[in-house]
Amino acid sequence: EAAVTQSPRSKVAVTGGKVTLSCHQTNNHDYMYWYRQDTGHGLRLIHYSYVADSTEKGDIPDGYKASRPSQENFSLILELASLSQTAVYFCASSRDWASAETLYFGSGTRLTVL
């Protein structure tokens, strides 16, 4: 079964600090994604990647960077965390680019910025 693991499970950060969220997948998938979920809202795409050492901007990339050092690992970086970035962050992977592909999600990281 597909496996996507995120760390940490939760984190409290201070405004202006740097935060790194990590994601590791054992699915041998080429495509990985970072989504943000706000209470009462659907998920929104922040960054994605379809090959190691390359990342692409999603719908809401401002304030976020991404890093894909290998096929298995995909990180989301908040250089200067802000209150508005308090949310739950989900990583996902998929096998292929086709529109019909299923995404496999991690359990999420709950980030609180104070």
The stretch near another protein (CB under 8 A) out of 11-19, 39-47, 68-76, 77-85 is: 39-47
Choosing from 25, 33, 78, 87, the residue that interacts with another protein (CB under 8 A) is: 33
Alpha carbon separation from 113 to 11, 42, 84, 88, 107 (Å, rounded) = 8, 20, 8, 11, 19
Instruction: Provide the b/e sequence for 59-86 (b: ≥16 CB within 10 Å).
Output: eebeebebebeebbebbbebeebeeebb
Q: Is 72 in the site for another protein (CB under 8 A)?
A: no
In whole angstroms, how close is the CB of 16 to another protein at the nearest point? Answer: 29
Residue 3: burial class (beta carbons within 10 Å; 0-12, 13-18, 19+): exposed
Rounded distance, CA 66 to CA 90, Å?
A: 13
Q: Is 107 in the site for another protein (CB under 8 A)?
A: yes
Q: Is 64 in the site for another protein (CB under 8 A)?
A: no
Q: Is 103 in the site for another protein (CB under 8 A)?
A: yes
In whole angstroms, how close is the CB of 50 to another protein at the nearest point? Answer: 5
Of residues 9 and 18, the one with the C-beta less far from another protein = 9
> Which residues would be at the binding site for another protein (CB under 8 A)?
4, 31, 33, 40-45, 48, 50, 56, 58, 90, 92, 94, 97-103, 105-108
